Amino acid sequence: MPAGLNRALLTVAGAIVAVILAIAICSVAIVAAGGGPLDALAAFFDFGATERAQSNGVAALIDRAIPLFIAGLAVAIGFRMNLFNIGVEGQYRIAAICAAYVGSTFTAPGWIQISVIIIVAALVGGFYALVPAVMKVTRGVNEVIATIMLNYIAINLASYLVRGPFSGQKEGDLTTTTPPLPESAMFPDLNFVFDWFGMVRPTRAGGLWGFLLVAIVLGVVVWLVLERTRFGFNVKASGLNGPAALASGVAPKTMVIAAMVMSGAVAGLIGLPEILGDRGAYNSNFTAGLGFLGIAVALLGRNKPAGIAIAALLFAFLDRAQGALQEAHVPASVVTIIQGVIVLLVVIANEITKRLALRLEERRAAQQLARNTPVEVTA
């Protein structure tokens, strides 16, 4: 068996074991909370009684997975070189509000309008990530601390902006919001996909968001950049062995700045699916906490775009069931427990399978070579 395939199989096996174990552990939690594990399991797969409810459920699942996927990508870019960009949370919020405001100030044909909004979001997110990167390379400030602090600044700055300079609130409105985006800014939905499967088109929250396509393209681009380009190689080398990367001519400071800005630029897009697909503005109902969830998604997906996609879908699948669980008399917070347990177990499983794979590889190579190499005395 080729060495690469061997390692991949081990990884998948580890992840599956972790998820099964997590379900077992959570069953205990559900029983303790007074529910039935089987009821809970049924609730996860219960997408509603009517056809329309089922379509809405599927759309909600995918819509939830899109920003999680983008958030996972953003975090993974940093993780690849041992940079912990905890600031994804702040980067996407500040980027979302700036992009929503800029988008509302003009009207242009759809593709221009949307492109401008995406570019503004990426620029703002990248710029906001540049701050901790510069602090790190010039002053040695730990990026974890810097980004956590910048999160607070971003969150509060965003709530100031939405009330003050960027406010589009009309007299009598209950929610604070930026001015509404013109119709041309709304990303066309993908509801027609449901026709292909003979399902009813979803109606809730804009249906299936068209930003899904952007996310898929983004995933492919990130994969290409990380796995196939020289830049990606430098990122990998810096992450695996800093001194070796340095000795081979990779400039560590440039790499920190480039990786951090790229991470921030991707993070800037996290809020757009929701704004362009449903809300048409940044308002007080805007989904928070995606940046932190992105950390868990990236961990779960082992920093690889395909893995992150699966992890994002899994998280979205669990999140979607919150309503159904309550109807089955299981506390909805069980979902959070399951998510936490899965992340923990997967991190452990990753570490175990990684060591196992390395040891197997060592043994395999040693066996192949032992036949014709006599043992030498060295130290």
Partner 1 sequence: MSADTLATAKPAVELEGITKRFPGVVANHDIRITVRPGTVHAIVGENGAGKSTLMKILYGMQKPDEGTIRVNGAEVSFRTPSDAIGVGIGMVHQHFMLADNFTVLENIVLGAEPKRAGLLDTAAARARINELAETHGLRVDPDKLVEDLGVGDRQRVEILKVLYRGARILILDEPTAVLVPQEVEELFQNLRELKAEGLTVIFISHKLDEVLGIADAITVIRRGTTVASVDPGEVTARQLAELMVGSELPTPETRESTVTDVVTLKVSGLTMEADGHRPVPKGASAEAYVAKLREEGKRLLLDDVSFEIHQGEILGIAGVEGNGQSELIEAIMGIRPAHGLIELTGRDITSWSTLRRRESGIGYIPEDRHRQGLLLEASLWENRVLGHQTRKPARRGIWINRKASKADTERIVREYDVRTPGVDTLALALSGGNQQKLIVGREMSGAPAFLIAAHPTRGVDVGAQAAIWDHLRDARAAGLAVLLISADLDELIGLSDAIQVIYRGRLVAALDPSDITPERLGGYMTGAIAGTEET
Give the shortest CB-248-to-partner 1 separation in angstroms. 3
Q: Name beta bridge partners: 177.
A: 283
Contact between 1 and partner 1 per CB under 8 A: no
Return the half-sphere exposure (C-beta side, CA atoms, 13 A cut-off) of residue 172: 0
Give the shortest CB-311-to-partner 1 separation in angstroms. 22
What residues between 234 and 273 interact with partner 1 by CB under 8 A? Answer: 234, 236-237, 240-241, 243-251
Judged by CB under 8 A, which of 32, 49, 174, 377 binds partner 1?
Answer: 377
Round to whole Å and give the CA distance between 223 and 228: 8
Contact between 366 and partner 1 per CB under 8 A: yes
Judged by CB under 8 A, which of 32, 49, 174, 369 binds partner 1?
Answer: 369
Give the shortest CB-368-to-partner 1 separation in angstroms. 5
Which one, 131 or 265, has the nearer CB to partner 1?
265
Round to whole Å and give the CA distance between 349 and 16: 9
Contact between 174 and partner 1 per CB under 8 A: no
Which one, 174 or 375, has the nearer CB to partner 1?
375
Give the shortest CB-243-to-partner 1 separation in angstroms. 5
Which one, 156 or 229, has the nearer CB to partner 1?
229
Query: Reduced to 3 states, what is the DSSP secondary structure of residue 283?
Result: strand
Give the shortest CB-16-to-partner 1 separation in angstroms. 23
Judged by CB under 8 A, which of 12, 16, 288, 358 binds partner 1?
Answer: 358
Round to whole Å and give the CA distance between 228 and 302: 17
Which contacts of 18-26 are long-range, i.e. CB under 8 A and separated by 24 or more positions?
18/342, 18/345, 18/346, 18/348, 18/349, 19/314, 19/342, 19/345, 19/346, 21/345, 22/338, 22/341, 22/342, 22/345, 23/338, 25/341, 25/345, 26/334, 26/337, 26/338, 26/341
CB-count exposure of residue 346 (10 Å: 0-12, 13-18, 19+):
buried
Give the shortest CB-158-to-partner 1 separation in angstroms. 35
Q: Name beta bridge partners: 283.
A: 177
Site string for partner 1, 195-234 (x = CB under 8 A): ---------------------------------xxxxxxx
Computed from CA positions of residues 67, 72, 75, 78, in that sequence, does the dihedral angle turn out positive or negative? Answer: negative
Question: How many residues belong to the site for partner 1 (CB under 8 A)?
Answer: 38
Q: Specify the residue for token string 């949307």.
A: 114
Neighbours of 263 (CB within 10 A): 29
Site string for partner 1, 313-352 (x = CB under 8 A): ----------------------------------------
Contact between 368 and partner 1 per CB under 8 A: yes
Give the shortest CB-240-to-partner 1 separation in angstroms. 4
- Tell me which residues touch partner 1 (CB under 8 A): 2-4, 228-234, 236-237, 240-241, 243-251, 358, 361-362, 364-366, 368-369, 372-373, 375-379
